[in-house]
Structures are given as C-alpha cells and as structure tokens.
Amino acid sequence: MNIAEKIAGALGATAVGVAMWAIPAAATGSDDPTPYTVSTAGIQLPAGSTFHDGQEINVTVNGTTGVGIHFEAKCVSSSAAECAGKLHEVAQYIGAGFIPWSAFGLSGEFCITWVQVGGFTEHFGEGGQKSVCINSNNGECPDGYTKPSDSYGGGSTWTADQDYQSVILVAGGDQDGERNYFIPGGATQGQTYSRPDGKTISHLCLIPGTPTTTPPTTPSTTTPETTTPETTTPETTPPTTTPPSGGETPGTTPPTTTPPSGGEEPTGGEEPTGGESTPTGDETTPTEDTTTTAAQTPVVQTKVLSAGPATAVSGTPTYTG
C-alpha cells in the first residue's frame, strides 16, 4: 500500500468516527413504553440497572393517592434519627433491581395507576398501560369507594353526573383480562369516559370530590368581531353674517321717525303749551279762527324814534273802538 492509499484510509476511518459520534441517541417521551416492569409484585428494573443513592420512585395509588420513596445510602446501616423506619427499610434495596410494594407501605387491595422511576424518562400509565391491581376482589369496589348499582347497563362509555376524585370502570366478569380500570385524575361532571380496551362496563366504583386533572376542552368557534365603521357627521359651517351697510352694529334697528304732516319738521325741545293732551277717539280739538274781519282793528307797525311822539310809517289811518 503506497502512501496515498494509507492517507485515504486514515481519513475515511476518521470520518466514520466523527459521524458515529455526531449521531445522538433517540429521544424518548413520558408516554413511550417503560424499560422497567410494573407488576402485582412490585417494580423490576431492566437488566443491568439497580437502585442507587439519591434516586426516587413516585407512584399513584387508585388514581388519587401519591406515594414516594427516596434512597439514602447513609441509612443502609443506620436506623437512628432521620433514618428510622421507612428510610432504613428502603435503603436496603440500594444495589438491587427489584423492589416490592410493601417497601412503599402499601398492603391489602389497591391498584397502581401511575409510576415514575428516577433516571427514566418513561412513565407508567402515560402510554396507555393498564392499571395494575393487587389483591383484586373480583370486580368489587375497594375500600373507600361507593358502588351506585350492581348493574351499569350503559355499554362501554360513561358520562360523569358530578365531579369525582377517583373512578373505576369495572368490566364484566365474563370478559378476559383486567376488570378494573382507573380513570387517571378522576372525572369531571359532563365529561364522557370509556375503557381503553373497549370492554363493556359492568358497574362503577366512585369517590366523589374534586378531580386532580383538568378535563380536555372542546375548542370553541369564535365568531370574528364585526367592526362597524364610524359615521362621521360633517361639521356645519356657521352662516356668514353680512354686516349692515353704513357701519351700523348688527342687530340694531335704527328708529323710524314719522315726520309731521305738511312737511314741517318738529321744533326741538318744544313741549305742548298749557298742558294740552293729544285727543283720542272721536274728540276734536277746536281750532281758533284767525281770519281778520272788517270790524277788527288792524295792527299798524310803528317805528320808535329816539325822541318825540310816535310817527306813523304807513298812510293807513288808525281806528279805535
């Protein structure tokens, strides 16, 4: 092999190594199949895995009650103070791959509906796994549950008539497999539920109360709002007032003076003589006859001189009497 072939081979191996290093492991979700096993006996870890210091396990019992344990290495050989009781017992399973339900303090009749093991992403009960019931009483309701009737008769679905903290949909004894199915988180009034295996419901086991999960909501159809355009009233231009001619102030009407008859202008400041009043109605003011008659004495204008008797300035004789 020449030098060129050796270099090409080395580069090829390096590229493969880089490519393998760059490929991440497939991500898993909480609803994927669990690598550990949940059975009526307890929890079994996958081959090669063991419980270790600081690890936790949390389980839900009968769909409502949460129980958890914590592994403390310091409590393996000590049962004093904080290691007394349950912590000391749980510490004995450090290094083991299996733990029974008795280590959780569980006994009698119960069902495991959810499990979370520290260090594993997958959760039992979130991927469609059926509840695991211990010491099943052949379909009868466990302690604390009420049984509305011996026969449901509603097929494979059930609608909650009120809120329930926990609900078990029990299948008929004539059907194979697990009879008890716990509704995770309880049931909400008005919501319809069914067994995931499609089995006919024989009867119900109920605990009234507030459910621990929010029911799915049906998306509502929202009608878009209709915006009515605003109607703008045009502004009214105030009327233009033409000022009166001659510089008069608007709104002032000059007084109208009716001149007296005969074209004469009234004498300023004169008042009626003798307190005479203007006649009203049909009253007639008598007029004085100013016509001169022959019997009246004519008035002769005289001229006053500086001295001596009066001298007539006209040739008209003066009569008396």
Band of residue 143 on the pLDDT scale cut at 50, 70, 90: confident
- In the chain, which residue ranges form alpha helices assigned H by DSSP? 3-22, 86-91
Prediction pTM value: 0.45
Q: Are 91 and 73 in contact (CB under 8 A)?
A: yes
Alpha-carbon span 213 to 236, nearest angstrom: 64
pLDDT, residue 115, reads 97
Alpha-carbon span 196 to 130, nearest angstrom: 9
CA–CA distance from 218 to each of 160, 188, 225, 284 (Å)? 17, 14, 21, 107
pLDDT, residue 186, reads 83
Query: Tens of pLDDT along 15-53?
Result: 444 444 444 445 678 989 999 999 988 999 999 999 999
List the one residue out of 206, 202, 192, 204 whose CA is nearest residue 153. 202
**Strand (E) positions, 80-130?**
98-100, 110-117
- What number is the average pLDDT over the span 250-278? 49
Half-sphere exposure (Cβ direction) of 8: Cα atoms closer than 13 Å: 5
> Residue 240 is encoded by which pair of tokens?
């233009």
> Residue 37 is encoded by which pair of tokens?
């096993």
> Residue 111 is encoded by which pair of tokens?
């069902």
pLDDT exceeds cutoff 60 at 219: no
Higher-confidence position of 304 and 181: 181
Q: What DSSP designation does 207 have?
A: E
Query: What is the chain's Cα-based Rg?
Result: 63
pLDDT, residue 26, reads 56
Going from N- to C-terminal start, the domains of the chain cover 24-135, 137-215
pLDDT, residue 195, reads 85
Given the DSSP bridges, would you call strands 65-70 and 98-100 parallel, antiparallel or unpaired?
A: unpaired
Alpha-carbon torsion 33, 34, 40, 44, what sign?
positive
CA–CA distance from 312 to each of 295, 301, 304, 306 (Å)? 21, 8, 10, 14
Under 8 Å CB-to-CB from 214, ≥6 apart: which residues? 188
Give exposure, 301-313, as e/b (b: 16+ Cβ within 10 Å).
eeeeeeeeeeeee
Question: At which residue do the structure tokens 């393996």 appear?
Answer: 76
